[in-house]
Amino acid sequence: MEKREQLYEGKAKKVFATDDPNLCIVSYKDDATAFNGLKKGTILGKGAINNRLTNHFMQQMEKAGIPTHFVEELSDRDTVVKRVTIVPLEVIIRNVAAGSFSKRYGVEEGTPLHEPSIEFSYKNDDLGDPLLAEGHIYAMALATREELKTITDYAFKVNELLKAELIADGVELIDFKLEFGKTPDGKIVLADEISPDTCRFWDAKTHEKLDKDRFRRDMGGVEDAYREMLHRILGE
């Protein structure tokens, strides 16, 4: 399978067409941004690590019955995925207060939540991905009730599966963001990535951050954190 024309370039990945109209190739970059692109940088080796970790997690999800866009890892940075229409929602699950939740509600970072929460943001860079009330999703026809039910069920199931796998490697899953796609026949599948760019991972004992917050907050040790996650999850 070979790359044809570039279809899209995002902040962390490029997407290419292939000879098969139902498949495309995602190519992971080392570029990193935060605060809706305001902060820019490079995290050396990040593209390859996020490719490996995402593909591993996607395959775990498939095994557990959650359909995903994953097809085949081509090389260290490139992966074949199903061509889908991305549902314009950022789906965020939280287990422990952190980030915008802590800021918005005044709950100290690291406070365990009484139960996992789900929230949706409108995937729209020009607007800075604003938080959505459920009714707004239907009002703007971003997803149907049935689609949102499927997305919600899948997202909570991903949380349980990921949490269980990570804790076995001494990593606590604080929160994460998922995106879903729709296949031409209308099926909802898990898409985008599951990586230290899109999740908060803390060492379960020391609470050391092993994710992109090290970049967002200028904490140093960014590359080491990504490498540590690759090592813990895949032993590489």
Contact positions vs ligand TMP (CB under 6 A): 92, 98-101, 129, 175-177, 198-200
Report the alpha-carbon distance of residue 73 to residue 70 in Å, rounded.
Answer: 8
Q: Minimum Å distance from CB 110 to ligand TMP?
A: 13
Q: Minimum Å distance from CB 195 to ligand TMP?
A: 9
Q: Which is nearer to ligand TMP, 16 or 215 (CB)?
A: 215
Q: Which is nearer to ligand TMP, 4 or 207 (CB)?
A: 207
Q: Which is nearer to ligand TMP, 79 or 95 (CB)?
A: 95
Q: Which is nearer to ligand TMP, 28 or 101 (CB)?
A: 101
Q: Which residues pair with 107 in a beta bridge?
A: none
Q: Minimum Å distance from CB 170 to ligand TMP?
A: 18
On the 0-12 / 13-18 / 19+ scale of CB atoms within 10 A, 118 is middle
Q: Which is nearer to ligand TMP, 99 or 116 (CB)?
A: 99
Residue nearest to ligand TMP (CB): 99
Q: Which is nearer to ligand TMP, 74 or 208 (CB)?
A: 208
Q: Minimum Å distance from CB 21 to ligand TMP?
A: 29
Q: Minimum Å distance from CB 125 to ligand TMP?
A: 9
Q: Minimum Å distance from CB 3 to ligand TMP?
A: 25
